[in-house]
Structures are given as C-alpha cells and as structure tokens.
Structure 1
Amino acid sequence: MYIMRFLYCFLLVSGVVLGQNEYPKDYFGQPLDVPMQLSGNFGELRPNHFHAGFDFKTLQREGLEVHAVAEGYVSRIKISTFGNGKAIYITHPNGYTSVYCHLQQAVGEVGAYVDQAHYKDQAFEIELFLKPNVLQVKKGQTIALSGNTGSSEGPHLHFEFRDSKTEKIINPLLFGFDSGIKDTKKPLISALYVYPLDGKSVANQSKRPLLLNLSLQKDGSYLANKVVASGKIGFGITADDYDNVSFNKNGVYCVQSYLNGKPNFGYQFDTYSFDEMRYINALIDYPKYKKTSQRVQKLFMVNPYDLSIIKTDQSHGVITVAPNLTSVCRIEVSDFFGNKSIVSVPISYDGAAAIVDKETVVSNYFVKVNKDNIFAKDNMTVFFPAGTFFEDFEMNFNVKDGVLYLQDDSVPVFSSFTVSIESDQYADADKSKVYIADIDSRGRSGYNTTAVKGNLYSTKTRSLGKYLLKTDTTAPSVAIVSSIEGKWISSQKTIQLAIADYGSGIKSYNGYLNGAWVLFEYDNKTRKITYTFKDNQVNEGANDLKVVVADNVGNSTTFETHFFRSQK
C-alpha cells in the first residue's frame, strides 16, 4: 500500500517532467518576427472555456507577417465573423497541427485560394478541409498577416498546437517555446476560500464559503488562518501567473493540494480536448464568478466530472473533518518554469453550531443531475436530459405574463436542454416570424433558432434565465458609410456599409456588382461590411451595386446605388 501511494504521489508531482519529454523541442520555429510576448497563455480561464493556446502580442497593431512554424500543408481554413475569425491550420509530417487565428488576411498562394473559395461558395463565412497536395508550405513561409478578426478584443495572434489524429490541444511550452520566455516570478495566490460542502458542514462557524487570511512566512510560503470545522469541507483559490517580459497576468500551469502530505487534488495544463472546455464552469465557483467576475478555482469535486487534467484521490479533494483529528492542507501553485507558491492551512474539529447560515435559495423544484427532468406550467415546458448540469441544485421555475422564469444564469449548464412554448395566437402565415427569445439581466433580447410544429415552438439552449415568444417583422437597417451615389470613386479602395438588426439578428449579407456576386467582409465589432475593389470585378465607367441583408426570420432589406470608376 505504501509503495502504491508513493508511486501515485510521484506521478502527480513529476508529471511535468514526463510530459515535457514527449514533444519535439527544436522542430518548430516562431510564427512572428517580433520578440515573444504573451497576452494570454495556455489553460488560462476564459468564459465557458480554457484558453486553447498562446496569444502573441503584435505591437498593438495589425499587419505583421505570420509564418508557418514548420513545413507541412494547409489542412483547414475557416473564416468566421466570431470566435477565431480568420484561421489557418497547417498539418505537419511529425503528427502535429499548428493553428493561426484572428488573421487580417491570408497572403500568397493561401490568400489566392481563400479568395477563390469565397467566390465559389458565394459566402464570406467558409470552412474548407484540404488534401495534402493542395497547399503545401515551407518552414518560415509567410502565410498571412496578423489581425483582429472574430471575437478578438485587440490586435494579436492566437496560436495553437494540436495532435493531428486526436485533435487534442497541447501547451506550446512543451514544444520548446519556453526558450523565448523569461520567467523568474512565482504565481500569485490572491485569495483562498474554505467551502462547507453540505447542509451539515460548518467552517469557522459558517455554512457559507469564507475568505481566509494569509500570512507571509520567512521561507516565502504562506500560512492561512486556522480552519475550525465539522463535516465535509473543500478549498478554492484565486491565482494568476506573471512572467518577466509580458507585464500582464496569465493563468497558472499547475495546482496541487495535499492533505497531511498526501496528494488529494490537482491539475496541470499540458493537453486536453475541446469536448472538455465547458468543465471550466465546474472547476470554478461559477455563482461567485457570475456575481463578482472573480474566478475561484475549486480544489474539490462534489459531483465528479470527467476533466482529464484533474488527478485526485478517492475523496475528490473533499476533506472530512472528524472529532479528535487535526490536519494540514498544503496547496502548491506552480508555473512551467518551476516557480512555486505554497499555502498551508491548519484544520481542526469543532462541533459548535454555525452562526452564519446558508444563503436562502428561492426555489420550488429540485433538479437531479443524473436523471431526466421535465418541468411544465401553463403553455411552457422545459426538458433537462440527464447530465445537463454539473451538480444537483434547487431551481426556481415559474411562468408569468407569458415569460418563462428558469432559475438564473448563476447555475452553470454543461449540455443543451429544450425549451418548448405552445401558442395558438399566431396565424400560419406569421409563424415564420416567431421565435423563442432569451432576455438577459440588462433586458436585452437574444435570438434562439426555433423549430415550429403546429402551435409548438421549441429551441435548444445552454443558458438558464428568462424565455418568451417574440415576433420580428422589422427588416434590417442598411446604410452606406460614405455616399457614392453617382460619383467617380477611382481612388477609393473600399465600399463600406453599416448593417444592423434589433430583432432576430443578421443572418446573411450579399453584395452584387453589376449583377455578379462580390465579397463583402463582415466585422462584428463595428457592424460594417466592406467590399475591397479588385480590377476584374468592376466595370470601366458606370457600375451598379446592390446589397441584400436578411435577418434570422427572413425579413430582408435591399440597398442599391450606382457609381463611376476608372481602372486606368
């Protein structure tokens, strides 16, 4: 038994060493010519996901050359208005794929191929899967210019490594990218919380989570104030990491907790799959995050979930505090370079009653995570398949004045559930304009793809909150940014239009120059579509432009104008 425990502890602690030896260190080059500085690292905690790669700073501007980090072939191209924006995937002969995102534009042969695909599909948003002999690239070849497309919040290059077969994402530091980063700074543990984990548990006379004070010790570690408890408790931390050159906070690489010297809960950001992304909402204290934007990383699992990076003992990090026993919980937070911060928490038993009770929860139902749950009232029904949530919870469900009140967004949802609303107030001719809308905390309405069968409207969603039926009969608005009506615009490089829809939202936008489809690119940050002049798409002299914009329920607006242009 002792040998088994020793081996378990050894594997947990030395996993970083074993993991780092699996990957080639000198095979890949850098994607940019500028010195490596990160604005986001691998595994960093983001809304509904762990960060899948590196965010390289690009001198706060767009247009830097982006290079293939090794020879290979372009295996995938995806152009989207959200998410990764314009992205290029290169598969390499050694079994890995590199990914380059938020690009301004592809260049060279890759750029020409993308342009042809836009016109072939007559769409700005495209996704292409290429065979190995179509677009081959060499190491260091310029494939694109850096940008700020998609959901990027500023100019940068998002970069990833993936296993080509499994599609698992891998920490770039494992491929030797650590050589470009200087880091002598310890991670910063800014908060430590103790959690009573059931109705019978008490910690420091409270049934609510409590913030613990930390005292710096002479050896550089921290000592938390003593936890006096009974029943089942767990701990959570808020922690960030910093390097010597980027001057911004990043996510931590490794967290490991020990109970009386034995590892009981830990995780390390080496590799994981995209299917695991939403487990971030189980790892963090999600209600606290929704209320305060603070991400507390829980070092326990009340209801175990399948996040592969977590290594735990049979208790899943839950500590049972019993009479006549004292314990010490030690929490170690490390970065990839071996810098480490340590907190020790003394724990002892006390059976005294709580002074601070649990928060009052307004609810009329109880949801069991491992069972199918159906709730119905009046004309509205909600179906939660087993596994929709991470943990059991008390739910407030009600229907009032045509609005479904479904708890609130402080409860994290793992997989989709179905909301159904029955209504006979719409004629058959009007049903295509009806959809199920969600209403956020600011009163803003959101569109949900809605199926209609007779008088039943249904949608699949992954958010709790308010839902109701809405009708959208208003067409999108379309306005040209700078008028070109009847003008000579020979020196103008682009035409821009502002488009918006305040009902169901924009679904499509298509431009036609002299009757032929032309590419308009959409920027979701500015809500503008842009056409860039190309010599073979414009007539010498008079030209007619038509733009058709449609929303999600079929309302459309057509904008038309004419202009003059000379190519000479």
Structure 2
Amino acid sequence: MKYLTIILLILLSANLYGQSNYYSEPLKIPLILSGSFAELRSNHFHSGIDIKTQGVTGIPVYSVADGVVSRIVVSPTGFGKAVYIDHPNGTTSVYGHLENFREDIEEYVKNIQYEKESFRVDLQVPDGSFEVKQNEFIARSGNTGSSGGPHLHFEIRDTESEEPLNPLKFDFPVKDNTPPRIFSVMLVPLSDYSHVDYNAVKKSFPVEFRNGSYHIKGNPIIPVYGQIGFAIQTNDFFDESHNRCGVYSIQLKFDGELYYSFKMDRFSFAETRYINSHIDYGEYNHSRRRFHKTWVDPGNRLSIYEYIRESGILRVTDGNIHHVRFELTDTHGNKSVLDFNIESKSRKVSPPQKEYVELMKYDRENQFRSGGIKIDFPKNAFYTDIPFKYSKKAGWEEFFSDIHTVHDESVPIHTSARMSIETKNIEKHLRPKALLVRVDTVSGLYSTAGGTYKNGWVTGNIRNFGNYAVAVDTVPPRVIPLSINNNGELSETKRIRFRISDDLSGIHIIEGKLDGRWALFEYDAKSNLITHYFDPERFELQKRHQFELTITDYSGNTTTYEASFWK
C-alpha cells in the first residue's frame, strides 16, 4: 500500500511538473538563491526556495500566474506576512516574509486586525475577493517573521493536499552549474557486535575531490564487520551564491547494486518532523553537522524514499573487499560521486555499555513513573526502541523541585510527551506562576517548557529529552520606549516603537491603546520590536493623545507604560 501511494504521488507530480512554462518569476531581479527546497532545517525540511533581494527590503513581488488570493497570514514568527494564491492548474503559490501587501490587500487585512483587535491573523479569503493576473504586483519583499535577513520565501504547493512541491522543477531561471559538495562520510555499527575500524562506535572520515570525484582522504580500505549504516555530510550550492543549500537526490550503491535512494520532489507538512530520523540527530546535537543517513529507522514514515533495500543496512560478514558509491545530484542535474572501499574483517569488540531503567518500544505507548515525576509517551513518539535512562538530583535554590534528567537530549522525540513534576515548598501565591523549565546544567541557564500547576504537580508537554525542573516566573516583561523621550516628546514622526522582552515564560499579550481605543502594533518577535504607525483614517491627529501600552507574559505578569504626547 505504501509503494502504491508513492507511485500515485510520482504520477501526480509528473503531471504538475510537466507545466514547466506555466509560471513567471515572482521577482523581476536575477533569481539568486540562499535556500533550496527540502533543505535540512531544525525539526523540518524547508518547504520552498529563498530568493535573495539584494540585501534590502521593499522589492516588488508579483503573482507567478493568474489566480485568486486564497489566504493571508500575519504572524510575529514563521513566514511573517504571507500571501497564498490559488491557480487554475491545481497549485498554490506562497510568498513569505513580506514587508507589506499592496494597498487594497493591506487595507483589507488591517480592517480585520482592528475588528479582531489582533496583530496576528490567519485569513481564509472569500473566493473572488482578489483576482490577480500573471505578473500583477501583490506585495513588497521584507524580513518579517522568523526570517534571518531580507529575502523572499517562495513556494508552490499542490492546492488539494497542501503539500509543497519543488519549485525548481518548474524551470525558473536560476543559474546552477555547481554540483553538490561532499564534506565527510560516516560509518555506523548498528548491532552489538558490529564494528567500524575495529571499534563499536561510529566514525566519520573527511573526503577530498580529485580526478573528477570524491574520495576519502588517504584512500583507506576501511575495516568493518556486521550490520553497518552509512551517512553523508553534503550541501548543494548555486551559481553566484555562497549559501549552503540542500541536495535533491542521494543514492547509495554497494558493489554496484542500489541499496538506498531518495528524491526531494515533494513532502507533506505532517511528515516534515521525521527529518530528525532522516539525519543523524545525535551527531547534529553534538557537532552541529547534519548527516543524511542512508538507512531508515523502523519508525521513520517519510515518503521521500524511492528505493530501500534491507532498510539501507549493509551486512558485511564475508571477509571480502566491497565497493561503496554515493551518487548525489541537484535539481538541475549536476552530479557528485564519492567512491571508497570497505573490507569485512572480524574482530571481537566490546559493545558500548547500555545502562537503562527500561526498554521503550517505538510502536506502542510508554509510561514512566518514579519519585517526583510522571511521563506518558504516545505511540510512535520514537523512531526506534529506546533504552530509556533516568536520574535526578537536588534542585537549585531557584527551583521548586528536583532536577530530573530525562534520557538523553541527543535522542529525538517525534510527538509530544505529557510530563508532570512534583513540586517542593512552593507557596500558594506562587503556584499560578509555576512552570516547567528545561535546564542547561553546564551554563546554568534554563528556558520555559510551559505547563500549569495542579494539586502539587506541574504538568506540560515536552518534545525534547533533557534536564527538567519546576521554576516560577514572577518578573513582568520589560518595556523600553524608542520613540517617546522622558518629556513625552516624539522622536519619530510616523510611528512609535518599543523594545519588549520577557525573561522566562515569554510575551503573551500586547495591547496598545490610543485615547482609550485599541491601536495596532506590529510585532517582530526576533528583534523584540513592536511598532504602531499613525493612522489618520482611524485616529484624529493634530492633538494631544493619551497612550497606554500593556504587555503580559504567559505567567500573567503585566507591565503597563503610559505617556501623553502631541501628534
């Protein structure tokens, strides 16, 4: 059934990708990319391409085809300001991190923001409200949301399934004569008595490019034995850009026979977190290097794999030398090859000691109970069986519980687990402020993990292993005016701005009032900046105003700033 689904998706993709001349460019400047489709990101695959905007915001953005605006999103994170356009061919184009929308769309959005008294909106636009033609101006590029710099995030999705498609399959004019680059390869023992280079732990080998292909430095024949997995560290690059991007396809061949293959034509948002199984998550956690694994965990349900033989695991026990080849391609057909040899050599090795409290199966629900802690893991929370470890120690002075070490932060969790920690010596007036925190015992820093207090326990959802405790947040948010001086005079003529921040639970509610009426503040979470642009259509100007700004965090702590100014 799984392979029938994959075949149907391939046929559907072929039909969509056959429309190669359907779209025009979303920007009328050279399309130079800083990010590619399905590039490896934290907890997700990148769902589109990132187009550079020459280091500035405000570049005009155009609809790539005839269609109707179907959705508009405004958020302090994610895509920031984004427009979705449905097209007659069954696809939807997405334009993210916008600075602003064109005037009629901007006014439509602002009216709803004032009606809902909310900066954050996700609007399903009534059909026909905004019909657009190909190359029609729709917005200006920006740096809103979780953007790391000015650019346009652009996607093409299958409208019905909402699955993102690889935009580079539609022949956008992106210069790319640069093949993927390979940095290192890793060999991993996958059973107790397997070994690599006579050790029962994984080992990475740097590679070099010579004579038209990549080779392991020194050209060694690597001794291995047992069940072996391979992983490769690689990035793709585009012409005129130094940004590291993602590869389109990887194949692993063993003595000329295909063992593993994937292509990044499309994926679903429901499966994107399986990236933590696709990569060597532990290696990334340790070294910040992302390796594509070429074996597939039993709990990995990604649909990107074209062919997998024996789960991609090589069983090397015959005493012979074998040839291993990686073939990597990008969407434009540029190709890189890595060749090396391994030799089956048996030697008795001591497998790593695995001390654990219980074995948790990936394909069933698991519960853990110990003094002061309760955790419920749903079915399929893990990608493989977990030899679960746990310990605890006395909490620090600022904590109201022990510090609980829950397994190992180098092991990923796919779906949220429900965790409760018993509190100690927490006074009644502090209980509503209690929350779970994730603790870095090396740096001494900790961050919120949410949760609420009830009957002596704080309960919340976690999606990472690590150290956890209970703390309280009694400190209100900080508010720093950037446009109003101590005398109540404005230093900016068109707007008022504030820097806001919170130490622990995070900013929850932003409420600005001008002369007693709700005023729209745009919120850029990455820079902790809120901005109100004076609007003569909604507020009378040329008078003295009474202004009040209230910022509330998730623990209910509140800061209020008041001022009177002439505008």
What TM-score, normalized by structure 2, do the two folds share? Answer: 0.91
Indicate which of 99, 102, 123 corresponds to 2:118.
Answer: 123
2:182 aligns to what?
Answer: 189
CA deviations 1:275-308 (Å, max 9, x no partner) are 1111111111111111111111111124352110
Check conservation: 2:158, 2:165, Cα contact below 8 A: yes
The 1:475–1:512 alpha-carbon spacing in structure 2 relative to 1, beyond 3 Å, is: same
- Post-superposition shift, 1:454? 3.0
- Post-superposition shift, 1:27? 1.4
Percentage identity across aligned positions?
A: 33
- Distance in 2 separating the partners of 1:216 and 1:486: 65
- Distance in 1 separating the partners of 2:337 and 2:13: 23
Check conservation: 1:40, 1:54, Cα contact below 8 A: yes
2:561 aligns to what?
Answer: 559
1:399 aligns to what?
Answer: 392
- Distance in 2 separating the partners of 1:160 and 1:419: 37
- Distance in 2 separating the partners of 1:150 and 1:95: 27
Aligned-partner residue type, residue 543 of structure 1:
H
- Post-superposition shift, 1:347? 3.2
The 1:17–1:165 alpha-carbon spacing in structure 2 relative to 1, beyond 3 Å, is: closer
1:449 aligns to what?
Answer: 450
Question: Which secondary structure state, in structure 2, belongs to the residue aligned with residue 446 of structure 1?
Answer: strand
- Post-superposition shift, 1:396? 2.5
- Distance in 1 separating the partners of 2:449 and 2:308: 41
- Post-superposition shift, 1:482? 3.5
2:277 aligns to what?
Answer: 282
- Distance in 2 separating the partners of 1:209 and 1:410: 15
- Post-superposition shift, 1:227? 2.9
- Post-superposition shift, 1:220? 3.6
- Distance in 2 separating the partners of 1:335 and 1:215: 19
- Post-superposition shift, 1:426? 4.2
CA deviations 1:219-258 (Å, max 9, x no partner) are 5454653232221112111111122222332111110112
CA deviations 1:172-209 (Å, max 9, x no partner) are 012221xx122222211111111111111122212111
After alignment, is 379-388 or 59-68 more displaced?
A: 379-388
1:49 aligns to what?
Answer: 44
* Root mean square deviation of aligned Cα: 2.5
Question: Which secondary structure state, in structure 2, belongs to the residue aligned with residue 553 of structure 1?
Answer: coil
Question: Which secondary structure state, in structure 1, belongs to the residue aligned with residue 113 of structure 2?
Answer: helix
Aligned-partner residue type, residue 451 of structure 2:
T
Question: Which secondary structure state, in structure 2, belongs to the residue aligned with residue 102 of structure 1?
Answer: strand
Question: Which secondary structure state, in structure 1, belongs to the residue aligned with residue 114 of structure 2?
Answer: helix
- Distance in 2 separating the partners of 1:221 and 1:431: 60
Gaps of 5+ in 2: 395-401
- Residue 532 (str. 1) matches residue 527 (str. 2): no
- Residue 380 (str. 1) matches residue 373 (str. 2): yes
- Residue 204 (str. 1) matches residue 205 (str. 2): no
Check conservation: 2:77, 2:526, Cα contact below 8 A: no
After alignment, is 239-248 or 329-338 more displaced?
A: 239-248
- Post-superposition shift, 1:367? 2.8
Aligned-partner residue type, residue 561 of structure 2:
F
Check conservation: 1:484, 1:561, Cα contact below 8 A: no
- Distance in 2 separating the partners of 1:529 and 1:383: 39
2:399 aligns to what?
Answer: none
1:4 aligns to what?
Answer: none
Indicate which of 357, 382, 390 corresponds to 2:383.
Answer: 390
The 1:463–1:98 alpha-carbon spacing in structure 2 relative to 1, beyond 3 Å, is: same
CA deviations 1:292-333 (Å, max 9, x no partner) are 111111111243521100133340110011225543222101
- Residue 370 (str. 1) matches residue 371 (str. 2): no
2:305 aligns to what?
Answer: 310
CA deviations 1:71-96 (Å, max 9, x no partner) are 21211111111121111111112111
- Distance in 1 separating the partners of 2:508 and 2:297: 42
1:3 aligns to what?
Answer: none
After alignment, is 255-264 or 507-516 more displaced?
A: 255-264
1:420 aligns to what?
Answer: 420
CA deviations 1:368-396 (Å, max 9, x no partner) are 22232222222211121221111223333
- Distance in 2 separating the partners of 1:341 and 1:298: 17
- Post-superposition shift, 1:163? 0.6
The 1:563–1:252 alpha-carbon spacing in structure 2 relative to 1, beyond 3 Å, is: same
Question: Which secondary structure state, in structure 2, belongs to the residue aligned with residue 478 of structure 1?
Answer: strand
- Post-superposition shift, 1:527? 1.3
Report 1:77-226 matches (<5 A): 77-177=72-172, 180-212=173-205, 214=207, 218=211, 220=213, 222=215, 225-226=220-221
- Post-superposition shift, 1:68? 1.3
- Distance in 2 separating the partners of 1:470 and 1:216: 52
- Distance in 1 separating the partners of 2:169 and 2:281: 30
2:397 aligns to what?
Answer: none
The 1:263–1:248 alpha-carbon spacing in structure 2 relative to 1, beyond 3 Å, is: same
- Post-superposition shift, 1:556? 0.9
The 1:118–1:261 alpha-carbon spacing in structure 2 relative to 1, beyond 3 Å, is: same
The 1:16–1:183 alpha-carbon spacing in structure 2 relative to 1, beyond 3 Å, is: farther
- Post-superposition shift, 1:430? 3.9
- Residue 273 (str. 1) matches residue 275 (str. 2): no
- Post-superposition shift, 1:138? 2.0
Question: Which secondary structure state, in structure 1, belongs to the residue aligned with residue 154 of structure 2?
Answer: strand
The 1:353–1:495 alpha-carbon spacing in structure 2 relative to 1, beyond 3 Å, is: same
- Distance in 2 separating the partners of 1:301 and 1:448: 30
Check conservation: 2:193, 2:348, Cα contact below 8 A: no
CA deviations 1:504-543 (Å, max 9, x no partner) are 2210111000011001111223212111111132443111
Aligned-partner residue type, residue 174 of structure 1:
K
- Distance in 1 separating the partners of 2:378 and 2:390: 16
- Post-superposition shift, 1:17? 13
Question: Which secondary structure state, in structure 1, belongs to the residue aligned with residue 283 of structure 2?
Answer: helix
Aligned-partner residue type, residue 472 of structure 2:
T
- Post-superposition shift, 1:21? 7.0
- Post-superposition shift, 1:555? 1.4
Aligned-partner residue type, residue 433 of structure 1:
K
The 1:194–1:558 alpha-carbon spacing in structure 2 relative to 1, beyond 3 Å, is: same
Check conservation: 2:319, 2:345, Cα contact below 8 A: no
The 1:415–1:438 alpha-carbon spacing in structure 2 relative to 1, beyond 3 Å, is: same
Aligned-partner residue type, residue 244 of structure 1:
D
Check conservation: 1:231, 1:321, Cα contact below 8 A: yes
Check conservation: 1:484, 1:563, Cα contact below 8 A: no
Question: Which secondary structure state, in structure 2, belongs to the residue aligned with residue 34 of structure 1?
Answer: coil
- Post-superposition shift, 1:37? 0.2
2:480 aligns to what?
Answer: 479
2:223 aligns to what?
Answer: 228
- Distance in 2 separating the partners of 1:250 and 1:503: 34
The 1:215–1:463 alpha-carbon spacing in structure 2 relative to 1, beyond 3 Å, is: closer
- Post-superposition shift, 1:544? 0.6
- Distance in 2 separating the partners of 1:155 and 1:87: 14
Check conservation: 1:484, 1:562, Cα contact below 8 A: no
Aligned-partner residue type, residue 144 of structure 1:
A
Aligned-partner residue type, residue 512 of structure 2:
G
Aligned-partner residue type, residue 421 of structure 1:
I
1:437 aligns to what?
Answer: 437
1:522 aligns to what?
Answer: 523
Check conservation: 1:65, 1:144, Cα contact below 8 A: yes
The 1:458–1:215 alpha-carbon spacing in structure 2 relative to 1, beyond 3 Å, is: closer
- Distance in 1 separating the partners of 2:497 and 2:207: 56
After alignment, is 215-224 or 273-282 more displaced?
A: 215-224
Check conservation: 1:509, 1:548, Cα contact below 8 A: yes
The 1:521–1:216 alpha-carbon spacing in structure 2 relative to 1, beyond 3 Å, is: closer
Question: Which secondary structure state, in structure 1, belongs to the residue aligned with residue 273 of structure 2?
Answer: helix
- Distance in 1 separating the partners of 2:241 and 2:416: 38
- Distance in 2 separating the partners of 1:489 and 1:221: 61
Check conservation: 1:514, 1:543, Cα contact below 8 A: yes
- Distance in 1 separating the partners of 2:230 and 2:116: 53
Check conservation: 2:39, 2:45, Cα contact below 8 A: yes
- Distance in 2 separating the partners of 1:424 and 1:247: 53
